[in-house]
Amino acid sequence: MDVSIRKAARTDLPAVYGLVCQLAEYEKEPQAVTVGVEQYEEAYGQNLIDVIVAELGGEIVGIALFYLTFSTWKGKCLYLEDFYVKPTLRQYGIGRKLFDAYLNEARRLGARQAKWQVLDWNQPALNFYEKYDATIEKNWWNGKIFLHDSQDK
């Protein structure tokens, strides 16, 4: 399988958005996506997000969407917001290639750690991260407050 792994271009953002929507469906929360491609383009143009894509036959089939953040305890971090490969193409090593590219980007940027979230019921994902000897924290709970719920997809 001839999969190409590369940094996304602005023209890839509609396909990236489509895969994020598929991820939201997989995670049983399609209604939670309340932004549209325009917000992706704006964030991309402001260097708030970056994306590595997996491309097969001219089609984007996987994404690793991330951004730089800072831990007051650890320093610079690269946070993986969305990581997704089309279900029919899993088991071909595409996820491994994307995740390795994400980790390489974290190293290139001088990040002290790479972080992400995983749902406790997503056993395939947990098994995937286990192969990397990742630490999956179970003692920290997420907190959030929605300041503005935009419905302009």
79 contact partners, CB below 8 Å, separation of at least 6: 66, 67, 68, 69, 114, 115, 116
- Predicted pLDDT of residue 144: 87
- Predicted pLDDT of residue 56: 97
For 4-130, CATH gives: 3.40.630.30
- Predicted pLDDT of residue 150: 53
Neighbours of 21 (CB within 10 A): 14
DSSP state of 146: -
What does the pLDDT profile of the chain (153 residues) look like in tens digits?
799 999 999 999 999 999 999 999 999 999 999 999 999 999 999 999 999 999 999 999 999 999 999 999 999 999 999 999 999 999 999 999 999 999 999 999 999 999 999 999 999 999 999 999 999 999 888 898 888 765 544
CA–CA distance, 147 with 153 (Å, rounded to integer): 17
**Could you state, in order of their start, the residue ranges of all structural domains in the chain?**
4-130
153 to each of 38, 46, 55, 133, how far by Cα in Å?
8, 19, 25, 37
Is 0.75 topped by the overall pTM?
A: yes
CA angle 61, 134, 97 (to 5 degrees): 25
Q: Which residues are catalytic?
A: 129
DSSP state of 30: G
- Predicted pLDDT of residue 151: 53
